[in-house]
Structure 1
Amino acid sequence: MAAIVATDMKGFGDREVTITTLAGTDSFTYDASKNPVLILNNVTAGALTVTIDGDGASSVTVPGAGTFDISGGFPTASIPIGAVYAIPLNSIGVRLAGTIAVTGGAGIEASLLEF
């Protein structure tokens, strides 16, 4: 299990971005106040679907629409070989409560940028 380490993007100039090669079941810490973006670079030999799941997220109630089960986490689209996807984590923040597991991405290079 690899922990995806965030790179602080605040301030001026360039910085080295921490890249983590996913092992299959990985984790990161979500801080909504830092506007985090998760970058997934598929350098593997096949298309992969990554699921991002907080173990404390079970359901969400949307006024006028009802209650929805979100316990399965957020599955990405199938990421083709050589493709790079970016996920603004605040857009799926409701799914990131508790301990976060990133699964299905063995071999993908991940970077977590915080703005």
Structure 2
Amino acid sequence: MCNQIKEQIIRGDLNDGDKLPSIREYSSTYEVTNLTIQRAMQQLEKDGIIQARKGVGSFVLDGSRDLLEKRMLGTITKDFITKMRNMGLANIDILKLLKEALENE
């Protein structure tokens, strides 16, 4: 559930300051329990992506899209480097591969 909301923010379907649908609405849309949605919302709040306002709802925090993109790019980059190193490549070889791929794009 967290990933779906994060993807909506990255795509621009949800923007800074936007109010998120209610827990009931999400529960109905994604056909999951309210508890599942509550846990996802708590995790998003803990991650600094949304802010819950008691009795009002949850809202996308300013800068969430940039934060999510930065985190995701960092994860993708680390995963790529790890895979290349597991294949026995040194940093210089990884850089050469990237350079070639970019030049051939």
TM-score (norm: length of structure 1): 0.25
Structure of greater relative contact order (alpha carbons < 8 Å, 6+ residues apart): 1
Greater strand share, structure number: 1
Pair member with larger Rg: 2
